[in-house]
Amino acid sequence: METTMNSYSRPSIFLALALAASVTQAADELEEVIVTADFRASELMNSAASVSVLGELQIQERGARHLEDILSAAPNVSWSTGASRSRFVQIRGVGDLEQYAEPKYYPSVGVMVDELELGSAANAGMLFDISQVEVLRGPQGTRFGASAHAGMIKINSNAPTDEFEALLSGGVGNYGAYNYGAVISGPLGDSVTGRIALQQNQGDGYIENEHLGEDDTAGYDELTGRARLRWQPDDGSRYELALFSFDAENGYDAYSLDNERKTWSDQPGADEQDTLAVSARGEWQLGVSTTLQAVVSDLDADLLYSYDADWISAEVCQINTCSFGHDTAREIFDRRRDQSTLDVRLLGGAEAMAAGEWRYALGFYGNQSREKLNYAYPSAWYGLYESASRYETDRYAIYGELEYAFSNRLSLTGGLRLERFEDDYRDSNGVGHDNSEDLYNGELSLQYDFSDNSFGYATLALASKPGGVNVAASSQYGFMSPAFQGFMQGKLRFDDERLLNREIGFKSRQLDGRLELRAALFYATRENAQLENWMWDDSAGLWIGYLDSNSDTDSYGLELETTFVASEAIELVANIGWLDTEVDTVTTFDLDRWDFVSKKDREQTKSPGYQYNAGMRTALPAGFSGVLELEGRDESYFGYYHDGQLEAYNLLNASLSWSNASLTLNLWGRNLTDEEYATHGLYFGADPRDDFGAWSNQTYYQFGAPRTYGLDISWRL
């Protein structure tokens, strides 16, 4: 892997920006984009937040199947693997990294499909029949509270249509990838419309298992279904019922002792999910300027996650000399998760703000989540260890927001959200914790229209994320060595985290609507930052994972997004994120020094110093169009227990499409230079082979997708 940015990437950014700043004759202008994630839908160029909107065309051109295929187009957004899909997202360096025993009902970055909160079930972020993906950076405390502590990703599916339409789609790609799907939408009566979308997505993955002689042990098999029913009996009311289903039988076989895409595991893992959710929404017009909205949802998910804990088979130690042989072990997490939510809000006041006018939002939110986990670690060396646990949380909130216009150009928005959080944990080892606390979220935002085409804002936002139980550490506490018990004695629970974000932003549309510029500058501090950490207790044979809330952090950065219609045939895009982070002090167990050490002024994990996405879309003769884009990011730490880093990388993507009124063909390719890059890392002694320094500490990587390409076909009836 390369340690520095490829030579073509930096010039590409500046070239794209220079082209975007040049002036040429153009007849077309950029279309208006609507953001739906706030209390009221607003135009992207007038929203007081740093937001990226990834549209349906961009999703299709990339051949994107899952969120992980598209998020790199948004600046200062990272994601973590450690599973078959990138389940956890980091925005501006804040976000969870992985999941083992910890419940994690409230990841720092929330993921929603329409009105449904996915939480830790975000493997289900599939992109078939999706109209757009909205990425909101920074805390969204008044609107979402702890569900969007560092940001929110909202996936909007296509709505039912008033006219009949149907779609058949399919695609094939390398590594045994293929998909097929269908959509049908239209009226079911005078006031009722409906839409159904189904897709099957399969592939072998990018790993070859040498021991089993198979190339699909990291494969994916995903079935996604959505159904939406809308009923509008009169002008004053409307209702929607939505059903969401996701069934994944994915494999998990990612790590190799030799850091390559060939594994020797004899018990490859699984990353399976069976989710069924339903949501209902009602909206009633109570007067000329007052609307009542209510959303209720229920989600049931079965999640099975397992992996080969020793990574190898007996064959490896027959070919090589191994110290102490090898263990035959698996780690298995079988969880059942149930979540019910209710959100009722009253919206009132003026729709279009003018001098002296105001509008408000008042609401109540409730979330009840229950999780049962059956854990097993069968090992030839340590025997069979099993445990069972249940974790219950109740979260209730009241919230309000008021916006007032001092003039036709200047307005002020203030919001406050008070949350009550309660949790209760019990496991088969006799460990039990319960707690309750009050959380406060607030926002103050000043917005100013410099002209009809330029808009600015300054925002101060306070966000709180609840504390909780360090589940694995609590259940393992009685088995730890004395030194580790002493270290963890005050860390079996972690405190609530408070994030204060200061942000200023500017958005402008120039050159007769052909050039759009969006920029945001932010500075954020986290008190009691919940940092993921790991320790290896060699005497007890325990990996101890926990959240440490004894540190504070600082971060600041910039997001810059530009789109320029250079001519009727050419559109240019350049998005850049810059980020600098610092953790005051974090104490961890150093595997090389074999002692507890304190690290000062460390960068946060998964916080690359820069990210970029730059590209060109061009219309070609005879119905053809093409896209060429570059994306990349700086190096970043993958953990706190070690100073290993994921190296910088740069990827080249392209697509060539042809379409007429009913048929579309898209030939796409991602990472066309076949660059090898890592998306997650581990550091410990895993290799028993004497010739490779038996049981010495080494860095091991999980790699991102290699060169992938395919052909997608869709036919509209």
498-511 pLDDT tens trace: 999 999 999 999 99
Residue 468 lies in a domain: yes
Mean pLDDT of the chain: 92
Strand partners, 367: 341, 395
Strand partners, 519: 506, 560
Strand partners, 75: none
Between 139 and 435, the more confident residue is: 139
What are the tokens at 269?
């893992």
Per-residue model confidence (pLDDT) at position 28:
63
| Predicted confidence (pLDDT) per residue in 59-104, tens digit | 999 999 999 999 999 999 998 888 888 878 999 999 988 888 788 7
DSSP string for residues in 603-620: PPBT--SEEEEEEEEEE-
Q: Is 283 exposed, middle or buried (0-12, 13-18, 19+ CB in 10 A)?
A: middle
pLDDT at 147 over 60: yes
Which residue shows structure tokens 């969007």? 148
Per-residue model confidence (pLDDT) at position 471:
83
Q: What is the dihedral sign for C-alpha 476, 389, 490, 601?
A: positive
Residue 2 lies in a domain: no
- Distance from C-alpha of 465 to C-alpha of 274, rounded to nearest angstrom: 27
Closest alpha carbon to 519 in 50, 9, 33, 177: 50
| Predicted confidence (pLDDT) per residue in 159-206, tens digit | 999 999 999 999 999 999 999 999 999 999 999 999 999 999 999 999
Phi and psi at residue 471, to the nearest 5°: -60, -55
Answer yes or no: are the C-beta atoms of 396 and 366 closer than 8 Å.
yes
| Predicted confidence (pLDDT) per residue in 99-113, tens digit | 887 887 778 999 999
pLDDT at 301 over 80: yes
Percent of the chain topping pLDDT 70 = 96
pLDDT at 26 over 80: no
Number of Cβ within 10 Å of residue 186's Cβ equals 14
Instruction: List Cα–Cα distances, 509 to 30, 32, 409, in angstroms.
Output: 9, 11, 16
pLDDT at 24 over 50: no
Residue 3 lies in a domain: no
Percent of the chain topping pLDDT 90 = 80
- Distance from C-alpha of 60 to C-alpha of 54, rounded to nearest angstrom: 11
| Predicted confidence (pLDDT) per residue in 346-391, tens digit | 999 988 888 999 999 999 999 999 999 999 999 988 889 898 999 9
Looking at residue 547, which CATH number applies to its domain?
2.40.170.20
Residue 4 lies in a domain: no
Element (H, E) at 476: helix 471-476
Averaged over 602-614, what is the pLDDT? 95
Per-residue model confidence (pLDDT) at position 448:
97
658 Cβ contact list (under 8 Å, min separation 6):
622, 623, 624, 625, 664, 665
Question: Which residues span the domain enclosing 103?
Answer: 9-716
pLDDT at 6 over 70: no
Per-residue model confidence (pLDDT) at position 381:
86
**Span of 181-190, 202-211, 234-243, 468-477 with lowest mean pLDDT:** 468-477
Instruction: List Cα–Cα distances, 627 to 377, 425, 544, 615, 655, in angstroms.
Output: 48, 51, 46, 7, 5
Element (H, E) at 315: helix 314-319
Band (16; pLDDT cuts 50, 70, 90): very low
| Predicted confidence (pLDDT) per residue in 241-283, tens digit | 999 999 999 999 999 999 999 999 999 999 999 999 999 999 9
Strand partners, 709: 669
Helices (H) and strands (E) in the chain — how many of each?
6, 40
Count of structural domains within the chain: 1
pLDDT at 525 over 90: yes
* pTM of the shown model: 0.93
- Distance from C-alpha of 576 to C-alpha of 76, rounded to nearest angstrom: 8
Number of Cβ within 10 Å of residue 270's Cβ equals 17
Strand pairing class (330-349; 290-308): antiparallel
pLDDT at 19 over 70: no
SS (H, E, C) 548-589: EEEEEEEEEEEEEEEEEECCCCEEEEEEEEEEEEEEEEEEEE
Closest alpha carbon to 622 in 653, 665, 655: 665
Residue 555 lies in a domain: yes
- Distance from C-alpha of 456 to C-alpha of 477, rounded to nearest angstrom: 52
Per-residue model confidence (pLDDT) at position 3:
37
pLDDT at 21 over 50: no
